[in-house]
Amino acid sequence: MTTFFASLLIALRALMVNKMRSTLTMLGIIIGVGAVIAMIAVGTGAKTRIADQIASMGSNLLIVLSGSSTSGGMRMGAGTVPTLTFDDARAISVEIPSVKYVAPNLSGVAQVVYGNQNWSTIINGATPEIFEIRGWPLAAGRSFSQQDLDGAAKVCILGKTVADNLFGAIDPVGQIVRIKRVPFTVVGVLVAKGQSTWGQDQDDVIFVPLTAAQKRLFGMQFPGMVRGITVQAREAEGMKDAEKQITDLLRQRHRLSAGQDNDFSVRNLTEVMSSAEESADVMSRLLGAIASISLIVGGIGIMNIMLVSVTERTREIGIRIAVGAKSRDILLQFLIESLVLSLIGGTLGIGSGIAGTLILSSFTQWPTVFSVNAILLAFLFSGAVGVFFGFYPARKASLLNPIEALRYE
Amino acid sequence: MDSLIQVHDLVKVYYLGEVEVQALRGISLSVEKGEFVAIMGASGSGKSTFMNILGFLDGPTAGQYLLEGIDGERLSKDELAEIRNRKIGFVFQGFNLLSRTSAIENVELPLVYARVPTHERREKALEALSQVGLKGRGYHRPNQLSGGEQQRVAIARALVNEPSILLADEPTGNLDSKTSGEIMEIFQRLNREMGITIIMITHEPDIASYAQRNILFKDGNIVDDRNVLSERVS
């Protein structure tokens, strides 16, 4: 221990003698560690934002859409032929145990008028379960009641964007808006949810009871028609099974024989989202890797300076060996010197990385998240760089021949 | 009783590229505890090579060197470092002090490698400095000291770990004659009062005359070895 502290003191003093040189050498590590921390913070921020967006969509989601229509050999895409009914939704909810919530919907775009204001938006005919699935609370008012659904009540719940555009500062609850000239009473306003992963404004929407959408707004080609059914599974692990069970159930209900294509489609939304998350993850790793290169370059700077230092101090090393320093004493002395250099650089790098990230995010509005692990890792990595790049010069010093070293001018 | 230093038929051959240099051609001598020996000779006579071997900084090509019965040939590099640390004190022509550290820290250096605790180190270093008459100058740096003072710091460093032998390689080579006399006075005092064995290389006969015994090297051989009947008193 005595030797260690003695070596530490010797190292600090040696670094103090060449302040400018030590600072410049450290700069490489400072920039390296700072870059690693900043890049990981940006990467983690992007990842967290995507994770938040996934959570805002609702987790463990399966979307069942109506089949595609074919017109003269041209297939029109999912949802163009209505095949799903409200009863399909009910059957899924009753017969498949791994399902938590089922929310059928029928939506369309319509012009909405309040007083002298008007706004074109998505009218989503839904059941109250949709708010559970998407974890979407009301900012004011109430949700739909069973009575609203049973009676196709002319009530609606506004998304934040719609409420702002039509009402401005007025409280919308209790007011009457006209959707396709049909008067609807506003019973609730949802809290803001922000953009979806794809940049859509999720708040630009009006919810009405599914039955009201069917009977009063969009009409039905057959009784109980819905455009899609959103299903939330209880657990992420059960998604695949649920997907299969829903497919089997609907094929049976739609009386499809073995060779026939599905007249509906089931999409696993979580998979889509997790691939987005994965790409953000890859991105953040890539950023971290690029930043680590600068740390390695900083390490080479340390090695260079340590080699110069060993040469300059050949005579000192000779004296130390002559008065009884063992190889490992000399090795330790120079290793500690490069370690001190890199750890001081690492510490300052943590500061500059955090400061740089804060400045960056205040200018670009990027979300950034600091992780203690990443900071610790960058710090330890800087120490490892110091030991790794300091070892060769230190070993070179420890192997010097004392007679030649003492003669060195 | 065995002598402090026993040298038998010591040979050292260097290879400078293709050229073979016979630095020592079979040296035999013994030095008793408490002697003050001056080794003289022209440059190239092999006296510095001999000193390096005595100081365990270099090994012989052939022959045997024993210090207190210890044969360096059988020891590892680190064991040799330990022997240098505990049994040998070096004084060089160019002082060889660490320029960026204070006098007292220079003196402490061998104790650092002997794993002596800090407070004890400081105590011993202060004592060694007062033995060479530098009490109170311990916190000066070498470049703030005169040549004679620097050499005295080096002597204190050589003494601090109570070595068996003090090896001095041209200790007065960089000093004027007055300062040289002062250094020799210290050597004589250490030798007489503390019984420290000193082997000193010099090419100046009047410096050699401070010693009790003069050995003359020529072309890798001892050509003269005699006791000084009336050594010079400073």
pLDDT at B55: 93
pLDDT number for residue A318: 94
Nearest to B113 among A13, A316, A324 (CB): A324
CA B123 to chain centre: 23
Contacts of B84 in chain A (CB under 8 A): 322-324
Ramachandran region, residue A65 (left: φ > 0; alpha: ψ -120 to 50; beta: rest) = beta
Q: Give strand pairing partners of B89.
A: B166
CA pair distance B190, B90, nearest whole angstrom: 14
- What dotted CATH number matches B5-227? 3.40.50.300
C-alpha–C-alpha distance, residues A97 and A338, integer Å: 63
By Cβ distance, the residue of A3, A6, A322 closest to B84 is A322
**Where among A262, A288, A316 does a domain terminate?**
A262
Tell me the C-alpha distance between A297 and A302, whole Å: 9
Pairing mode of beta strands B213-218, B36-40: parallel
- Is A72 domain-assigned? no
The pLDDT of residue A90: 86
Does the beta-carbon distance from B109 to A316 stay under 8 Å?
A: no
Share of chain A above pLDDT 90, in %: 30
Listing DSSP states for A166-207 in one string gives: HHTTS--TT-EEEETTEEEEEEEEEPP--B-TTS-BTTSEEE
**pLDDT score of A46:** 84
A270: in domain = no
Give Cα A364 distance to the centre of its chain: 17
Q: Is residue A243 domain-shared with residue A107, that is, in the same domain?
A: yes
Which residue, among B109, B120, B124, B143, would best test binding to A if mutated, counting the most A CBs under 10 Å from its CB?
B109
pLDDT score of A79: 57
Q: What is the CA radius of gyration of chain A?
A: 34
Identify the domain boundary among A233, A262, A291: A262
What is the model's pTM? 0.72
Kindly report, residue by residue over A282-320, the tens digit of the pLDDT: 888 888 888 888 888 999 999 999 999 999 999 999 999
Domain identity same for A90 and A32:
no
Inter-residue contact A372 to A40 (CB < 8 Å): no
Axis-axis angle for helices A2-17, A19-57 (nearest 10):
100
**Minimal Cα–Cα distance from A318 to chain B, Å?**
9
8 Å CB contact between A254 and A263: yes
Do the domain assignments include residue A267?
Answer: no
CA atoms within 13 A on the CB side of A171: 7
Q: Note the pLDDT of residue A307.
A: 94
Residue A84 — very low, low, confident or very high, per pLDDT cuts 50/70/90?
A: confident
Closest CA to A272 of A59, A92, A47: A59
pLDDT band at A118 (very low <50, low <70, confident <90, very high): confident
Task: Give all strands of the β-sheet with B62-67 in edge-to-edge order.
Answer: B19-31, B5-16, B62-67, B70-71
**CB atoms A323 and B78 under 8 Å:** no
Residue A320 included in any domain: yes
pLDDT at A47: 82
Residues of B in contact with A317 (CB under 8 A): none
ipTM: 0.93
Contact B117 A2 (CB under 8 A): yes
Q: Are residues A121 and A238 in the same domain?
A: yes
Closest by alpha carbon to A144, among A175, A84, A187? Answer: A187
- Cα–Cα distances in angstroms (integers) from residue B9 to residues B63, B117, B198, B227, in the given order: 5, 41, 22, 21
Would you state the pLDDT for residue B51? Answer: 93
Residue A12 lies in a domain: yes
Q: Say how many domains are in chain A.
A: 2
- B230 CA: distance to closest CA in chain A (Å): 34
C-beta pairs of A167-174 under 8 Å, 24+ apart in sequence: A167/A114, A167/A117, A171/A140, A172/A114, A172/A140, A173/A140, A173/A141
Q: How far apart are CA A389 and CA A36, in angstroms?
A: 19
Going from N- to C-terminal start, the domains of chain B cover 5-227
DSSP state at residue A237: G
Neighbours of B167 (CB within 10 A): 26
- More confident of the two residues A104 and A237: A104
Average pLDDT over residues A29-53: 86
Q: Chain B residues with CB inside 8 Å of A320's CB? A: 109, 113
Contact B114 A324 (CB under 8 A): yes
Inter-chain Cβ pairs, chain A and chain B, closer than 8 A: 62
Nearest by Cα to A63 from A276, A243, A238: A243
pLDDT at A54 over 80: no
**A215, A238, A262: which is the final residue of a domain?**
A262
pLDDT tens for each residue of A341-382: 999 999 999 999 999 999 988 888 888 888 888 889 888 989
Nearest to A329 among B52, B113, B161 (CB): B113
Q: d(Cα B116, Cα A294) in Å, to the nearest integer?
A: 42
| Chain B residues with CB-CB distance to A2 below 8 A | 112, 115-118
> Looking at beta carbons, which residues of chain B come within 8 Å of A409?
none
Whether A406 sits inside 8 A of B109 (CB atoms) is no
Question: Percent of chain A, pLDDT > 70?
Answer: 94
Q: Are residues A123 and A218 in the same domain?
A: yes
Q: What is the mean pLDDT of each run of 10 residues along chain B (234 residues)?
A: 86 88 91 94 89 92 91 90 94 90 92 90 93 89 92 94 92 91 93 93 91 93 86 67
Q: Closest partner residue to B77 among A2, A319, A327, by Cβ?
A: A327
Mean pLDDT value across residues A56-80: 68
Is residue A67 included in any domain, yes or no?
no
pLDDT above 90: residue A409: no
For residue A247, pLDDT over 70 is answered with yes
pLDDT at res. B222:
93
Query: Which has more pLDDT, A137 or A277?
Result: A137
A168 touches chain B (CB under 8 A): no
Averaged pLDDT score across all residues of chain A: 86
Are A140 and A162 in contact, with CB atoms under 8 Å apart? no
- Co-location of A226 and A97 in the same domain: yes
The reply to whether A41 and A182 lie within a common domain is no
DSSP alpha helix (H) spans, A269-326: 269-312, 314-322
B157 interfacial to chain A (CB closer than 8 Å): yes
| Domain assignment of residue A47, yes or no | yes
* Residue A345: predicted pLDDT: 93
Residue range of the domain that includes A320: 2-53+275-407
Report chain B's C-alpha Rg in angstroms: 17
Question: CA nearest A401: which of A317, A313, A307?
Answer: A317
Question: Are residues A99 and A229 both part of a single domain?
Answer: yes
Instruction: Name the one residue in this structure whose structure tokens are 């710091």.
Output: B153
Chain A closest-CA separation from residue B120 CA (Å):
12
User: Vertex A365, ends A362 and A368: CA angle to 5°?
Assistant: 85
What's the full length of chain A, in residues?
A: 409
